[in-house]
Amino acid sequence: MPRIKEIIWISKEIGEADVIVTDGNYEIMCFSHPFYQEKGEEINGILSVFEHSNLMRSQKTEYVVNHMGNGKYFFVARLIDGIKGIVQIGKIQIHDIEGIPEEIKRGEYIQFITSRVDLW
């Protein structure tokens, strides 16, 4: 189960933070508000993308997490549910991926760029 590795408080008073989530192999920095968890805890919410682009079937069949700076990521992830828009990287699931082509099937790998990942 993914855990909170690090918390970078933007405003602790209002519960706004950048949070590093890890499954032990992969790490993703997420924006979270409201956020009231502690370092080391399993995440209570879900990860979702704020916006994404360049979504396509990937030729790679391994997970890729490339932090491009300022919250932006390039991901290669395995499709879990194309209708609900759920992908997986290691043991981390990311939700709300819209516009996945129907011809991409469960278990296949997709790649995309996201401007931000949120922890809700």
Q: Per residue in 98-117, pLDDT tens?
A: 999 999 999 999 999 999 99
Q: Are residues 106 and 92 in the same domain?
A: yes
Q: Are residues 68 and 103 in the same domain?
A: yes
Boundaries of domain holding 81: 47-118
Q: Are residues 19 and 35 in the same domain?
A: yes
Q: Are residues 29 and 55 in the same domain?
A: no
**Banded model confidence at residue 72, pLDDT cuts 50, 70, 90:** very high
Q: Percent of the chain having pLDDT more than 90? A: 99
Q: Are residues 36 and 70 in the same domain?
A: no
Would you say 81 and 120 are in contact if contact means Cβ atoms under 8 Å apart? no
